[in-house]
Amino acid sequence: MIYLDHAAATPLSKHAQEAMKPYFDTEFFNPSAAYLPAQKTRYAYEAAKDEIAHVIGAKGADLVMTSGATESINLAFSAISDNAKVLISAVEHQAVRACAARKKCEEIAVDKNGRVILADLEKKITPEVELVSVCLVSGELGTVQPISDIARIVIVERQRRAMAGEKRSIYLHCDASQGLGLMEVKVARLGVDMLTLNAAKVYGPKGIGALYVGRGVKVQAQTVGGGQEMGLRSGTENVPATIAFATALTDAQRHLTAERRRLQSLKRNLQAKLSEIPGIKFHGNPKTQLPSFISFSVAGVDAERIIFALEMDEIYLSTGAACAASKDVKSPTLKAIGLNDEEIAGSLRISMGKLNDEANISEAGEKICAAIIAEQERLKK
Question: Which positions ≥6 away from 174 have C-beta within 8 Å?
Answer: 133, 134, 135, 136, 147, 190, 192, 194, 195, 196
Task: Please report the pLDDT score of residue 328 as a whole number.
Answer: 59
Domain ranges (residues) in the chain: 2-10+256-380, 14-254
> What pLDDT is attached to residue 324?
47
* pLDDT of 326 higher than 80: no
Q: What per-residue confidence (pLDDT) applies to 320?
A: 60
Asked whether the predicted pLDDT for residue 325 surpasses 70, the reply is no
Band (381; pLDDT cuts 50, 70, 90): confident
**Catalytic residue annotation:** 323
Report the length, in residues, of the chain. Answer: 381
What is the pLDDT, as a whole number, of residue 380? 87
Other beta carbons less than 10 A from residue 300's beta carbon: 14
Percent of the chain having pLDDT more than 90? 93
Give dist(CA 309, CA 307) in Å, integer: 6
The total of other beta-carbon atoms located within 10 Å of residue 125's CB is 21
The neighbouring-strand residues paired with 175 are 196
Asked if CATH classification 3.40.50.450 holds for the domain at 2-10+256-380, the reply, yes or no, is no
| Pairwise CA distance, residues 337 & 332, whole Å | 9
The predicted pLDDT at position 323 comes to 46
Residue 73 in this model has a pLDDT that exceeds 60 = yes
Q: List 66's β-bridge partners, or say none.
A: 209
Q: Which whole number is the average pLDDT over 131-139?
A: 98
- Segment 236-253 mean pLDDT: 97
What CATH number labels 14-254? Answer: 3.40.640.10
Mean predicted lDDT score pLDDT of the chain: 95
